Amino acid sequence: MKNLIKRFLFIILLLGLSPIICLSQQSLNLVNLTLNDTVQLKELNIERITDILGRPSVVERPPDFLADMLGPTIYYHDLGLKICFLHKSKDPQERVAVIFLYLVKKWDEDRSKFYLPFSGVLTPKLNPNMKINNILPFFEDDSISVILATERKAQFKELQRKGEMSKTHNSKFINSFFSEHIVTVNGDKYKINLYCEELTKYLEEITINFRDQ
């Protein structure tokens, strides 16, 4: 009887961890922009992605005043993922617009949850122990650019000086919001940003942006 109970509890545990197990078996290719080498990332919509990863930790619709422009966002905090979708007015299939991958544990203040590090397999084999100079060789020189945190801050302050940005943001906001170096990989219809921590230059976050559908 005890063995039967243990088996039952083990099955329940597996079911509870199924999304994490599922993701650990997935491969995400940042060169071909595919999932498991077959599914095109840009073709994913909410139904397809939830079939693969299971129930999200948070489902968020845009506020009413943006409801006619922005699509929904789903969060997988335990998997280190956030996925934003296009509004149906821009894409009837409401496919993916932006994918966020968190490679380190990060606090989501708005939802009072931690993102755990992304646990899938990445191609190229990027990881949070890499610095900017370790990342560059994985991509073609003509498609890649680097903007340092100091440059980002200077650009924002210049826009403020010209009146093109609000001057209500103080130095604390600027230093916080522009505290990463960004390595950008540009494609015809996509852009990949790799965010590196300002002082150590270690890779912490990746976003995949799809420009057109």
Question: Is the same domain home to 205 and 101?
Answer: no
Question: Is the same domain home to 36 and 98?
Answer: yes
Question: Is the same domain home to 18 and 54?
Answer: yes
Contact (Cβ atoms closer than 8 angstroms) between residue 196 and residue 204: yes
The two three-digit tokens of residue 171, written as one number: 């130095």
pLDDT tens-digit readout, 154-183:
887 877 777 766 666 666 555 566 789 999
Length of the chain, in residues: 213
Among residues 123, 146, 171, the one where a domain terminates is 123
Counting DSSP H helices and E strands in the chain, the numbers are: 6, 14
Among residues 103, 123, 143, the one where a domain terminates is 123
Domain total of the chain: 2
Question: Is the same domain home to 80 and 140?
Answer: no
Query: Predicted confidence band at 16 (pLDDT cuts at 50, 70, 90)?
Result: very low
Q: At 143, which amino acid appears?
A: S
Question: Is the same domain home to 101 and 199?
Answer: no
Question: Is the same domain home to 45 and 71?
Answer: yes
pLDDT tens-digit readout, 52-97:
889 999 999 887 777 677 899 999 999 999 999 999 888 999 999 9
Q: What angle do CA 133, 159, 110 make, to 5 degrees?
A: 70
Among residues 98, 123, 148, the one where a domain terminates is 123
Contact (Cβ atoms closer than 8 angstroms) between residue 178 and residue 156: yes
Tokens 């230093």: give the residue. 175
The two three-digit tokens of residue 113, written as one number: 């949850």
The two three-digit tokens of residue 72, written as one number: 């929904």
* Containing structural domain, residue 83: 1-123
State pTM to two decimals.
0.81
